[in-house]
Amino acid sequence: MIAFVLFLLSFFAVEYGMDILTRGLALVACYLIAAVSLSVLYSSSRGEDIRKLDFAGASGMVRRYGWKVGLSIALGDVLKGFLAALPVYFFARDWLWLVPAVVALGHCYPIWHGWVGGQGVAPATGALYGVDPLLGAITMGSGLGFMGLHRVLKLKPYVRLGSVPFSAIITLLILLVVAYSRYGIAGVSGIGLLIMVMGVRGLQVLRSPPPSEQSKKQ
């Protein structure tokens, strides 16, 4: 797949100039950084695979290894998303609006880990910090606030969503409004692509039994 992407970038470079190749490679680098799953690497160091025990990502790590590990993974994923934005920031700044969606794509469907990753909330937050600190702050504040509200009010029986997808949906809707007010249609397009990536992954998670149940059936 990467070879095919590089072939397309080479074609566009010949057709339209090296600037397109540079920008495309920056997006590829963004994806490859985001595709490093910290939760999978940590669980592997413990002789396990978190994807066979729970869903990959911070929430699954909290359930399996405790809140300290889960919090560390969440902060690491935020930092990963921020670092993944840097190649685009330095080499393709006018394509920054694509970064949150590319980071989410890498985290949710990581090439290094068999295309099975987390749900993308924490790294997308870090990516938004790299694009615009205000968007990152709104994402983190809204996400944590609605996640806490969901748990305090015990909303799962009513909305049929866990705290992470519930807070992510509301936060993304808020981001659409803020992105439009600051960047117009480009900002809306970027958040729209992010919603598509996370929406597809969220539906897959909702429609799948927990990995622990899957392993019991095998």
- Cα–Cα distances in angstroms (integers) from residue 178 to residues 120, 135, 183, in the given order: 20, 8, 8
- 51 is a domain residue: no
| Domains: count for the chain | 1
- 43 is a domain residue: no
- Quote the CA–CA distance of 39 and 18 in Å, as a whole number: 37
Residue 185 φ then ψ, to 5° = -65, -30
pLDDT tens series, the chain, 218 aa: 555 555 555 555 555 555 777 888 899 999 999 999 999 999 999 999 999 999 898 889 999 999 999 999 999 999 999 999 999 999 888 899 999 999 999 999 999 999 999 989 899 999 999 999 999 999 889 888 888 887 787 777 666 677 777 788 889 899 999 999 999 999 999 999 999 999 899 888 878 766 655 544 44
- 73 is a domain residue: no
- 62 is a domain residue: no
pTM reported for the whole predicted model: 0.83
- Quote the CA–CA distance of 120 and 175 in Å, as a whole number: 15
- 216 is a domain residue: no
Which residues span the domain enclosing 148?
Answer: 2-35+82-209
Contacts of 173 (CB under 8 A, 6+ apart): none
